[in-house]
A and B are shown apart, each in its own frame.
Chain A
Amino acid sequence: MIGFVIRRLAVAVLVTLGIALVTFLLLHILSPSPVYAVLGAKAEPAAVKAWNLQHGYDRPVLAQFLTYIGNIIHGDFGYSYKLSQSVTALFREHSGRSAYLSGSALVLSLLIALPLGIAQAVRRNSIGDYTVTSLNFILYSMPSFFLGLILIQFLALDWGVFPPVVSDQITTVWGAFTHPLQLTLPIVTLAAINVASFSRYMRSSALDNLAQDYIRLARAKGLSQRAVLTRHLLRNACLPMITLVGLSIPYLLAGNLLIEVLFNYSGIGLLFYTALGNLDYNVLLAYVIAGGILTVLGNLIADVAVAVADPRIRLG
């Protein structure tokens, strides 16, 4: 187990380096230097050259990359010339709010999807099952911002239950937590999209497990339906969900981005979106690399968690 984790960690570090290299090269092709963002589009060639020389942007790409990696290891993701702040400080300021949004959306979607999938599997091919399956299919094919717009139209504008955008006053996670109405729509939108994919897998996983002998045994020894479902089925049917949640991190990030833009909620997604408009390359680079690292970590943690949860799996 420990050997496996160490080996996988080594691979993860290599993959992370690869992600950083690919992203760095791509951004370098798009813009070799942020000089025009700093000095303006009409900067004198001499001033441009001097600035590049001073900040190391005249060196070979690989040398720049190695410096960048060295800085990352020391926790320095560069400097946002547009926002005049270090990227690390920006991320520290914004990431809490994004983590709150993603985290609560993930928890909410699991709380809905797991029982829903089991209920569908137990009452398979009933009208309820078909309705939920079709709804899931539609949600799954729907851009998250479109679902968000529909919710804004009905719940915010027509009925006035929730605010249509998150208020500027919400600056801390604690503030978001104590004003639940503000973040209800973003969280629900993000969760609904996840429910659509999670409950599909949960349904098929529960169906597979319902056909197994241990369920028949549990029923034969006289356990109530409730006990069979909660004590026997749920735990086994959840195993594939661990992997699925681990793999869903890139989608959560992308979802975050769109939802934060739609509801004007100032997390790292909105920060990234602003950086796209400003071509604030250090922020873009850091966010893509951080997304890559989260993806790799998600896979790794999911693999280990499945092995911990399922004693049949031996890692070697």
Chain B
Amino acid sequence: MAEYAPLPDVQTLHGTPPIGPTPEGGEVQVIASGWKLALREFLDNRLAVVGALVLIFFVLFCFVGPLVYHTNQTLTNPLITDLPPGGGHPLGTDENGFDELGRIMVGGQTALEVGFLASFIATVVGTLYGSIAGLAGGIVDNVLMRFVDILLSIPFLLIVLVLATKYSATVLEEALILGSFSWLVPARLVRGEVLTLRERDFVYAARVMGSRRSRLVVRHLIPNALSVVIVNVTFQIADAILALAYLGFLGFGLQYPSVSWGDMLGNAQNYVSEGYWWLVYPVGGCLVAVVLACNLIGDALRDAFDVRLRRR
């Protein structure tokens, strides 16, 4: 485990390390906050940087792309259905005459929006729930966590599908139903973290100084449990985007004119047998690339925050 030189005061902790050239013997560590060390570790991981770049590319592609590449994505055009790539349509057109490249951009917007929003909901709810349970302890903790156990035992995709039969028309609804069943894992993680944190000296010190519980949670426990949460967020995004794709594929996607990548793959089986490869593989490839990027980032973040694995 890395051993850090004693930290002199808060100023040096957050400011630039006031350390000159490494003395002979080189045992002195550069003082940097855990966050900076984690960031450095993350940037050293080449796969993670690729993942981050891919994700940034897709955010730009989906949200800035349509500003540059203008296509009609609301009115169907029966004259140009199922055209193969070429001639003004780099990726061809789909069965309604929508330009496929433009459609991938629009579908990517909703996929990313639902992914980020669902993971945001899950993370906020889970963090608050977990820290309350961990801090309260005793019977409150027991009751709260048994409830989490129950919800976790319900297969995620099945219950989400049942809810999606009624609530899946808009991005907000999809994000809400996905988020409302994915806060359970962050809640467990944060509770576990809080259980160890609450016995630490700095939390005792804060208690002795008379902080209220809310301050304890917001100011001390959540920031210290944040690394666990951040790692989980990226996996949540990946899972939400995948789940949205499943919903779309099974026909419980967004309502016209909104569309997501999963909705576009809804008829993929027919496209494959008709030989319309451009309606299947570009969308599917984008989907896999975004999910893969999120997973790579998540893995790297987990390694970066794990002090035990950290190189010195």
Residue numbers of A with Cβ under 8 A of B are 14-15, 18-19, 22-23, 26-27, 30, 137-138, 140-143, 145-146, 149, 152-153, 157, 164, 250, 253-254, 257-258, 261-262, 272-273, 276-277, 279, 284, 287-288, 291-292, 295-296, 299
Contacts and interface: CB of A to CB of B under 8 A. Distances in A.
Interface stretch (B122-130, B265-273, B301-309): B265-273
Contacts of B287: 143, 146
A140 B293 CA distance: 12
Contacts of B98: none
Closest 4 CB pairs of A and B: A18-B150, A250-B155, A254-B157, A141-B292
B284 interface: yes
A296 B150 CA distance: 9
Nearest to A296: B153
Contacts of A26: 159, 162-163
Interface stretch (B19-27, B182-190, B238-246): B238-246
Given A141-B288, A146-B284, A276-B162, A254 B156 contact: yes
B60 interface: no
A95 to B, nearest CB: 15
B166 interface: yes
A272 B280 CA distance: 25
22 contacts: A15-B153, A18-B147, A19-B153, A22-B150, A22-B151, A26-B163, A30-B163, A143-B242, A143-B249, A143-B288, A145-B265, A146-B265, A146-B284, A152-B269, A153-B280, A157-B273, A257-B250, A262-B269, A272-B158, A277-B251, A288-B159, A295-B154
B161 interface: yes
Given A26-B162, A253-B158, A292 B153 contact: yes
Given A137-B296, A258-B249, A250 B156 contact: yes
Contacts of A140: 295
Contacts of A279: 165
A106 to B, nearest CB: 16
Nearest to A285: B162
Interface residues of B, number: 40
Contact of A141 (B157, B165, B238, B265): B238
A156 to B, nearest CB: 9
B44 interface: no
Nearest to A23: B154
Contact of B162 (A14, A30, A137, A299): A30
B165 A30 contact: yes
Contact of A19 (B154, B165, B268): B154
A254 B288 contact: no
B92 to A, nearest CB: 17
A254 B155 contact: yes
B106 to A, nearest CB: 19
Contacts of A149: 268-269, 272, 280, 284
A124 to B, nearest CB: 15
B273 A164 contact: yes
Contacts of B265: 143, 145-146
Given A141-B288, A276-B250, A295-B153, A257 B158 contact: yes
Contacts of A272: 158, 161
Interface string B242-278: 1001100111100000000010010011001100010
Given A152-B269, A254-B155, A272-B158, 5 more contacts: A18-B146, A152-B272, A153-B280, A262-B269, A276-B162
B155 A27 contact: no
B249 A145 contact: yes
A291 B250 contact: no
Nearest to B281: A150
B19 to A, nearest CB: 34
Interface string B281-292: 000100110011
Interface string B134-172: 000000000000110111011111110111011000000
Contacts of A152: 269, 272
A258 B160 CA distance: 14
A157 B159 CA distance: 34
A224 B149 CA distance: 46
A288 B268 contact: no
A154 B155 CA distance: 32
Given A18-B150, A143-B287, A157-B273, A288 B249 contact: no
A141 B162 contact: no
Contacts of B150: 15, 18-19, 22
Contacts of A254: 155-158, 246
A23 B269 CA distance: 32
A147 to B, nearest CB: 9
Given A22-B150, A258-B246, A291-B155, A153 B272 contact: yes
A273 B250 contact: yes
A145 B166 CA distance: 23
A143 B153 CA distance: 22
A141 B250 contact: no
A91 B262 CA distance: 29
A141 B250 CA distance: 18
> Which of A22, A23, A143 has the most CB atoms of chain B within a 10 A radius of its CB?
A143
B85 to A, nearest CB: 17
Given A141-B292, A143-B242, A258-B250, A27 B157 contact: no
